Structure 1
Amino acid sequence: MTNGVHDGIDELVRAPKVLLHDHLDGGLRPQTVLELAQDCGYDGLPETTGPALGTWFRESADSGSLPRYLETFDHTLAVMQTREGLFRVASECAQDLAADGVVYAESRYAPEQHLARGLTLEGVVEAVNAGLRDGEAKAAEAGHPIRVTALLTAMRHAAKSTEIAELAIRYRDEGVSGFDIAGAEAGYPPTRHLDAFEYLQRENFHFTIHAGEAFGLPSIWQAIQWCGADRLGHGVRIVDDITIDGSPFAEWVEGNKDDPGALTALELDRVRLGRLAAYVRDKRIPLEMCPSSNLQTSAAPSIALHPITLLRRLRFRVTLNTDNRLMSGTTMSREAALLRDEAGWTLEDLRWLTINAMKSAFIPFDERLALIDGVIKPGYAELGYEVPPIG
């Protein structure tokens, strides 16, 4: 990385981290993409070496061209159509996250996107689950224990959400901890999938919904009030319901875009929350925020002015995430370093985020508490930060 992102990165790697929003098909190693393409006879890759391919993925995601951005997933999905490919990608996902200091992660993927070479939905889930267990074991052997659960995703534009929800319930005791919907928000509201959400609620199962990234407050409101989402994927547009000095957040940011410290120095008595924003904060609804990804999709103007800083100061239940590590060229430690270097965040802020995320994970309460008390708090204590009670 450049611009000082690597300065002091070792401490951030050692800090225990929790990741709730990470797409399996967006986190492959470039070299793995090349080797799996060769194994399965896929000849559509734009580059022939790992470093060049990694650069192509990042530049395509940064290009501002939606077709080119979506093309990146065409390539990763193309090499994830066999049991062997899915197993390897899942195993390496767990190992890579663990090496970066992540102690708990939820990896999400859409089983319906991995059927092109004859796999069944059940076969996809079983291959990924087996890969994640393999990756956990190898990470533990390497001295970096991690727990990874899976979220099964249904695509918003398709008609398989209830089928995928039923699949998630079938594997709920075998490593699947939740459900998600993803894809274009505009024109595909979460209410199209009410049957799936109502089924999951009857089954007492957890789910998150991509909402408030490319579309605004109506998407967030529907996800919460109509569908009953436990968490919001991204949720960055909740700031559309926040004003500063009477001006919408976006207008205020535009007027302060040349002041990178504006959000850090902002006096909070100048901030007003609308009804929906206040409800999200009052209900402690977790926001799965992904700063680097949001810059690529123009959901935020810069790291310094990303809404996560204001929302953290207002004590929303914000969490820090990677979204698509390959496309953003990122890791959890890099996301933390960017917030530190460009938005004034401290290791104490990261600790706060980590506790938030672990509280919000889709595993039983006693298991969350065990990780908080047995791994996260001691990990930060070793770095010199005792963890007080956090609201």
Structure 2
Amino acid sequence: MRPAGGGEVVGVITESEIRRAPKVLLHDHLDGGLRPESIVELADATGYGGLPTTDVDKLRTWFRGGAHTGSLVRYLETFSHTVGVMQTADALARVARECAEDLAADGVVYAEVRFAPELHVGQGLSLDDVVEAVLDGFRAGSAGTGLHIRALLTAMRHQARSLEIAELAVRWREAGVVGFDIAGAEAGNPPTRHLDAFQYMQRANGHFTIHAGEAFGLPSIWEALQWCNADRLGHGVRIVDDITVDPDGNATLGDLASFVRDVRVPLEMCPSSNVHTGAAPSLDRHPIGLLRDLRFRVTVNTDNRLMSGVTLSSEFAALVETFGYGWPDISWLTINAMKSAFLPFDQRLMLINDVIKPGFDALTPPGAPGA
């Protein structure tokens, strides 16, 4: 077990302890985090008849089994059912409210949750109706919890509505939308197809992240950064392909990897999901270990809590078990995420200084590394 923060490991941090820590989540899909019981109830309420089963426990197992295939394409197929029950304003508001409740219960103090408005207009909602319903749900679910939750609007990379969704993100940015994203199968759908949307966001002084380097390799990352000027990379796992480690453990960075580290490009890594989609071979061989050691701007995220069967706390607990991380590592990764959020600077600073650092100080036992 690798010593956390370069010092001696003191005790083993449990998932219940991590749940009490103030955490930050930058990469979480609204349609990938539904409660199974809510899916069944919403299917009944909305008349959606496509579920593989209406038994809640069997449905939970079905989602996880369907996602753990090692294929991003197969992984994405499970979303037809969650999206299928999210076609009314009431359903969207409920899912968003429950998302906020679940994140708050997991100790998340800041979250950016993304969704694709264009996927929720099948029963007559407008794009603005979709955004309004989700933001209403976020407000209701986070009220009184200490969770600050914001939205990222996602465009599907295989469709042609990205500029429209970027304009939507700017239109709602004073009401809780903090950025723009593209998602979907990477192969055959390079980010440069959506260059007009990214250029619009830049002209509007907006923020955006791009799913890149998950199922596709270095060209996807290079395009996202050098053509599209992404603020962050969704996943970015394949940046490890530009790093060579010799038998003595010495790492040599290629030009792209050096650029990513030098300019502190945030990497929105989702360890369990990356294994489930085949982006990483296993958790113990996930690039996050090497990238954290090399001090890339790594962040830890959930991606799809339903499909991967995770929470942010369980993701950190898995890293503790796999890489021997301690409180200094968890704190470092959390502050990385808060620094990289699309929230205004003064609000980021307030959460770091008034919430995150004091929260970790209270959890770090005397004598622990970094205490």
Q: Shorter chain as normaliser: what TM range? A: over 0.9
Corresponding residue of 1:150: 151
Native 8 Å contact 2:13 2:320 kept in 1: no
The 3-state SS of whatever aligns with 1:20 is strand
Corresponding residue of 1:311: 291
Native 8 Å contact 1:348 1:385 kept in 2: no
The 3-state SS of whatever aligns with 2:194 is helix
Q: Which amino acid aligns with 1:224?
A: L
CA apart distance, 1:334: 0.5
Assess, with a 3 A threshold, how the Cα gap between structure 1 residues 202 and 358 changes in structure 2: closer, same or farther. same
* Structure 1: gaps (5+ residues): 1-5, 247-265
> Is 1:36 aligned with 2:36?
no
Corresponding residue of 1:341: 321
CA apart distance, 1:385: 6.4
CA distance in 1, matches of 2:365, 2:152: 32
CA distance in 2, matches of 1:383, 1:196: 43
CA distance in 2, matches of 1:23, 1:67: 16
The 3-state SS of whatever aligns with 1:272 is strand
Alignment of 1:158-307 (within 5 A): 158-245=159-246, 267=249, 270-307=250-287
CA apart distance, 1:347: 1.9
CA apart distance, 1:42: 1.0
Corresponding residue of 1:257: none
Corresponding residue of 1:120: 126
CA apart distance, 1:92: 0.5
| TM-score, length-scaled by structure 2 | 0.93
Q: Which has the higher contact order (CA 8 A, sep 6+)?
A: 2
CA apart distance, 1:376: 0.2
Q: Which amino acid aligns with 1:207?
A: F
Corresponding residue of 2:6: none
CA distance in 1, matches of 2:235, 2:307: 16
CA apart distance, 1:63: 3.1
The 3-state SS of whatever aligns with 1:306 is coil
**Large movers: runs of 4+ above 6 Å:** none
The 3-state SS of whatever aligns with 1:294 is helix
CA distance in 2, matches of 1:203, 1:281: 26
CA apart distance, 1:384: 2.2
CA distance in 2, matches of 1:68, 1:244: 32
CA distance in 1, matches of 2:59, 2:328: 36
> Is 1:330 aligned with 2:310?
yes
CA distance in 2, matches of 1:375, 1:314: 27
CA distance in 2, matches of 1:83, 1:326: 21
Corresponding residue of 2:7: none
Among the aligned pairs, what percent are the same residue? 66
The 3-state SS of whatever aligns with 2:180 is strand
The 3-state SS of whatever aligns with 1:380 is helix
CA distance in 2, matches of 1:222, 1:230: 13
Alignment of 1:93-112 (within 5 A): 93-112=99-118
CA distance in 2, matches of 1:46, 1:145: 37
Native 8 Å contact 1:86 1:131 kept in 2: yes
Q: Which amino acid aligns with 1:87?
A: A
Native 8 Å contact 1:303 1:343 kept in 2: no
CA apart distance, 1:200: 0.5
> Which of 80, 92, 107 is residue 98 of structure 2 equivalent to?
92
Native 8 Å contact 1:136 1:145 kept in 2: yes
CA apart distance, 1:301: 1.3
* Structure 2: gaps (5+ residues): 1-11
Corresponding residue of 1:132: 138
Native 8 Å contact 1:305 1:343 kept in 2: no
CA apart distance, 1:209: 0.3
CA apart distance, 1:66: 5.8
CA RMSD of aligned residues (A): 1.6
CA distance in 1, matches of 2:26, 2:199: 23
Deviation sequence 1:174-199 (CA, Å, 0-9, x none): 00000000011111111111111111
Corresponding residue of 1:25: 31
CA apart distance, 1:303: 1.0
CA distance in 2, matches of 1:184, 1:56: 22
